[in-house]
Structure 1
Amino acid sequence: MTRLVAANRVISTDGKEIKPGVVELDGERVVNVSALLGERPFTEWLGGTINLQYYADEQLCAYKDGKML
């Protein structure tokens, strides 16, 4: 089952910002990133900034306040 998390800003690996943005996670792996254009059911609002970074095995992961989501 996937988890949806939203924040004021999502910063991609190339430095581009999505304001506000939503990240879809399958476990710790990012499966989709998009702009938050309206209310989405079952979306957890985290606020602040989510940074997307590649983990050691080239898996795209999301981080908030230095902790993996």
Structure 2
Amino acid sequence: MTRIVAANRVIDADGDEMKPGVVELEGKYVSSVYPLFGERPFTEWLGGTINIKRSADGRFQAYKDGEVIIDNQ
């Protein structure tokens, strides 16, 4: 199951910023990141800032307030 979260700002691993932005997660890894245009069904609003960082295995993870965001399933 994919978890879809949105925030006021999403900053990717290169430092590029989206205002507002959406992050799709599969488990503990990011599967997609894109700007938020209008209301999107099944999207959880987290607010604040989500930072995307590369993990030790080379895959991307999303962080909110210093904690990894994971898929709830």
TM-score of the superposition, structure 2-length normalised? Answer: 0.93
The list of structure 1 runs, each at least 4 consecutive aligned residues, that deviate by more than 6 angstroms after superposition, is none
Provide the rounded CA distance (Å) in 2 between the counterparts of 1:3 and 1:41: 12
Counting aligned pairs with the same residue, the percent is: 65
1:13 maps to 13
Task: Report the CA distance between 1:59 and its aligned residue.
Answer: 1.1
Aligned residues: 69
Q: CA RMSD in A?
A: 0.4
Structure 2: any 5+ residue segments left out of the alignment?
none
2:26 maps to 26
2:54 maps to 54
Task: Report the CA distance between 1:26 and its aligned residue.
Answer: 0.4
